[in-house]
Amino acid sequence: MTSTAAQDFLLKVKLQEELEEKVLNWTRQLCEALGENYQRYCKRHGFSKQSEPMRFRIQQGKKYLKIISQEWQEPSEYFNRPEGFYKDQSVHAFVNRYTGTIHKPKGWAGPVKKVRYDFRIIADREFVLNPDNCGWAGGYLYQKRYRY
């Protein structure tokens, strides 16, 4: 391998690692935006203020970051938990760790193949990270006929 080929390879590896860091950061921001959207939903519909609202967490897999919604559970003998805790409810979305594409979940195991949004595209990223646009229930992940 020539020195320029080695340098090119190292540059590609470095750029890929930087993109993976950015994707993880954008996914964290999406989780925060989804939490904010849920708070606004509760306030708008007059729900009583919950001490522990729904939240979203990230689970890293080989290829995808899985965004999981969690709901607060009160202390329960059934779950053998003397104190309250957050319980996983459902998969909200999958984000490709290497490309930043956002997919609707097919189930717990994986996403649908069609890409819904792409974090690398600035317009998509700004749309998805805005709490007014992303929905905690995942409605924004359904296919759109017309894309603006």
The whole model's pTM is what? 0.86
CB 32 within 8 Å of CB 47: no
Could you tell me if residue 10 is inside a domain? no
Please report where in the chains the tokens 């559970």 appear, as a residue.
Answer: 73
Calculate what percentage of the chain has a pLDDT beyond 90.
59
Q: What is the pLDDT of residue 83?
A: 79
Could you tell me if residue 60 is inside a domain? yes
Could you tell me if residue 132 is inside a domain? yes
Q: What is the pLDDT of residue 47?
A: 77
Could you tell me if residue 9 is inside a domain? no
Range of the domain at 102: 15-141
Q: Which of 75-79, 113-117, 135-139 has the lowest mean pLDDT?
A: 75-79
- Whole-angstrom distance, CA of residue 120 vs CA of residue 117: 9
For the chain, the DSSP string reads: --HHHHHHHHHHHHHHHHHHHHHHHHHHHHHHHHHHHHHHHHHHTTPPPPSS--EEEEEE-SSEEEEEEEEEE--BTTTTBSS-EEEEEEEEEEEETTT-EEEEESSSS-EEEEEEEETTSHHHHHHHTSTTTS-TT-GGGS--SS--
Residues 87-92 have a mean pLDDT of: 92
Could you tell me if residue 147 is inside a domain? no
User: How confident is the model over 22-64, as pLDDT tens digits?
Assistant: 999 999 999 999 999 999 988 888 876 566 678 999 999 999 9
Q: What is the pLDDT of residue 147?
A: 52
Answer with the residue of higher pLDDT: 85 or 79. 85
Residue 102 has a CB neighbour count (10 Å cut-off) of 27
Domain count, the chain: 1
Q: What is the pLDDT of residue 49?
A: 59
Q: What is the largest CA-CA distance in the chain?
A: 66
Q: What is the pLDDT of residue 2?
A: 64
User: What value does the mean pLDDT of the chain take?
Assistant: 88
Could you tell me if residue 134 is inside a domain? yes
Q: What is the pLDDT of residue 117?
A: 94
Could you tell me if residue 86 is inside a domain? yes
55 vs 74, 87, 125, CA distance in Å? 15, 10, 20
Could you tell me if residue 80 is inside a domain? yes
